[in-house]
Amino acid sequence: MSGLSCLEKLLDGVEVEWTELGEIAKIKHGKDWKNLESGAVPVYGSGGVMGYVNKYSYDKPTVLIPRKGTITNIFYVDIPFWNVDTIYYTDIATSKIIPKYFYHFMKSLNLMALDTGSGRPSLTQAILNKLLIPIPCPDNPEKSLAIQSEIVRILDAFTALTNELTNELKLRKQQYNYYREQLLSFDDGSTKFAYLEKLLDGAEVEWKVLGDVAKKIYSGGTPDTKKTEYWEGGTFPWMSSGEVNLKTVKETEKYITEAGLNNSSAKLVPKNSVVMALAGQGKTRGKVARTRIALTTNQSLAALTFDEKKINSDYIFYFLETQYESLRQISSGNSGRGGLNLQMISAYKVPVPCPNNPEKSLAIQSEIVRILDKFDTLTNSISEGLPREIELRKKQYEHYRNLLFSFPKPVADN
């Protein structure tokens, strides 16, 4: 059955009336919360929950609509709450419309098209009051509410599934972090993870400085941005500091030309290397990524290359991920202005299992990588695993929401 025929069956030929929002709900402003005492009542702004206080501004099911800021954030709230002046609440005529039905319909709208702000996005009460809301079977309130309830039931089912998958993803990420820490806990004084003990089977683990483990450790550079011949038509991927957050780098936003490479400090980095942020705004410094393509980097990134016959670069990548806080501590200051340098990285120690038996060492490293790759795919991959499943469910929800609200629009007056 097509979406249209499904909708026709649900409506069963009844009339649909497009009613102005102002006729089915009263839009109410929020108030300041700074003088309120802390408590259990959530405080909403346009970005979501901001805190908790001891008083509420409204205690009935409602739809919160942003006034300023992130105006696409629509919230359904059915518990007592307080709202600040960046978000409206709605006093809904529940004899005409179910609050959750109103919520799902509002989520289907492109609210950015209603933006009246010259800088910060804004929605005015006057514009919102003129929005047309579809009310099925307006002359039969009982049937109207029954139809609305069925639409809500269908859409809530998709939302519940998405939420369930999102919660599962959180648990899987916690599980991934736990196993990563356990599989890479080689400290002599600690009790090793049982599987790691079995994997090592009594083998020696030696802590070596990266300067001895890596083939090369070097930083990159940035070609002169004023010279278009260094950038336009470039074929060499050029990685910026922020792209370390990709974790696995398969492409870069920018490219440089051969002239840009030859006339700057940029250097080629082979694929299957590890890249570490030496500096960067916020939390970038100390983060690592693994490369899946040959590329170049800017001067705020250090590249680490390895002899693949001795070291699995992904193993080093996963270990250094666990060392993020430690790497930030050893850099010159733990503030946003701190920085790592090549000497610090070269002196940093990493665990090498069976250093005198490269074949066994690689086998152990590869098994650890295999396990962590599985968790990584499950928790982070947008083409596989839970993130892909969540994205598909969101699209499915949007598809059916749009179908269920595809009522015939009123004919505009000439």
Could you report the per-residue pLDDT of 148-160, keeping only the tens digit for each? Answer: 999 899 899 888 8
pLDDT band at 352; cut points 50, 70, 90: very high
Burial bucket for residue 226 (CB in 10 Å: 0-12, 13-18, 19+): exposed
Examine residue 199 and state whether it is found in any structural domain, yes or no. no
Of the listed ranges 14-18, 278-282, 357-361, the least confidently predicted one is: 278-282
246 vs 401, more confident: 246
Q: Are residues 349 and 377 both part of a single domain?
A: no
Examine residue 38 and state whether it is found in any structural domain, yes or no. yes
Examine residue 370 and state whether it is found in any structural domain, yes or no. yes
Of the listed ranges 257-261, 289-293, 318-322, the least confidently predicted one is: 318-322
Q: Does residue 366 surpass a pLDDT of 60?
A: yes
**pLDDT given for residue 186 in this prediction:** 67
**pLDDT given for residue 179 in this prediction:** 73
Type and span of the H or E element at 216: strand 216-219
Strand order in the sheet with 216-219: 216-219, 301-305, 274-277, 288-291, 248-249
Query: What pLDDT, in 10s, does the model give residues 12-58?
Result: 667 889 999 999 999 999 999 989 999 999 999 999 999 999 999 99
**pLDDT given for residue 161 in this prediction:** 84
Q: Are residues 221 and 330 both part of a single domain?
A: yes
User: Over the chain, what is the mean pLDDT?
Assistant: 87
Domain boundary among 138, 162, 196: 138
Q: Does residue 395 surpass a pLDDT of 50?
A: yes
Q: What average pLDDT score do residues 222-249 get?
A: 95
Examine residue 414 and state whether it is found in any structural domain, yes or no. no
Q: Are residues 109 and 51 both part of a single domain?
A: yes
Q: Does residue 176 surpass a pLDDT of 90?
A: no
Looking at the structure of the chain, the number of domains it has is 3
**pLDDT given for residue 229 in this prediction:** 96
Q: Are residues 87 and 156 both part of a single domain?
A: no
Predicted TM-score (pTM) above 0.75: no
Token duo for residue 6: 């499904």
3-class secondary structure, 167: helix
**pLDDT given for residue 131 in this prediction:** 95
Q: Which residues have C-beta within 8 Å of that of residue 334, sequence separation ≥ 6?
A: 328
Q: Which domain holds residue 50?
A: 17-138
185 vs 232, more confident: 232
Q: Are residues 311 and 340 both part of a single domain?
A: yes
Q: What average pLDDT score do residues 88-106 get?
A: 96
Q: Are residues 378 and 348 both part of a single domain?
A: no
Q: Are residues 310 and 249 both part of a single domain?
A: yes
Going by C-alpha positions, the residue among 305, 298, 228 that lies closest to residue 271 is: 305
DSSP string covering 359-398: HHHHHHHHHHHHHHHHHHHHHH-SSSHHHHHHHHHHHHHH
Query: What sign does the dihedral 268-274-275-278 (CA atoms) show?
Result: negative
Q: Are 290 and 317 in contact (CB under 8 A)?
A: yes
Q: Are residues 163 and 287 both part of a single domain?
A: no
**pLDDT given for residue 383 in this prediction:** 58
Query: What pLDDT, in 10s, does the model give residues 117-135?
Result: 777 889 999 999 999 999 9
Which CATH number does the domain housing residue 122 bear?
3.90.220.20
Examine residue 26 and state whether it is found in any structural domain, yes or no. yes
Examine residue 211 and state whether it is found in any structural domain, yes or no. yes
**pLDDT given for residue 336 in this prediction:** 47
Q: What average pLDDT score do residues 241-246 get?
A: 93
Q: Are residues 23 and 70 both part of a single domain?
A: yes
Domain boundary among 329, 353, 377: 353
Q: Are residues 21 and 144 both part of a single domain?
A: no
Query: Rounded to whole angstroms, what are the CA distances from 361 to 201, 255, 289, 307, 367?
Result: 12, 37, 22, 13, 10
Examine residue 296 and state whether it is found in any structural domain, yes or no. yes
**pLDDT given for residue 3 in this prediction:** 46
177 vs 81, more confident: 81
**pLDDT given for residue 335 in this prediction:** 47
Q: Which residues pair with 43 in a beta bridge?
A: 51, 82
Examine residue 190 and state whether it is found in any structural domain, yes or no. no
Q: What average pLDDT score do residues 105-120 get?
A: 86
Domain boundary among 83, 113, 138: 138
How do strand 216-219 and strand 87-92 relate by DSSP bridges?
unpaired
Q: Are residues 125 and 146 both part of a single domain?
A: no
Q: Are residues 26 and 164 both part of a single domain?
A: no
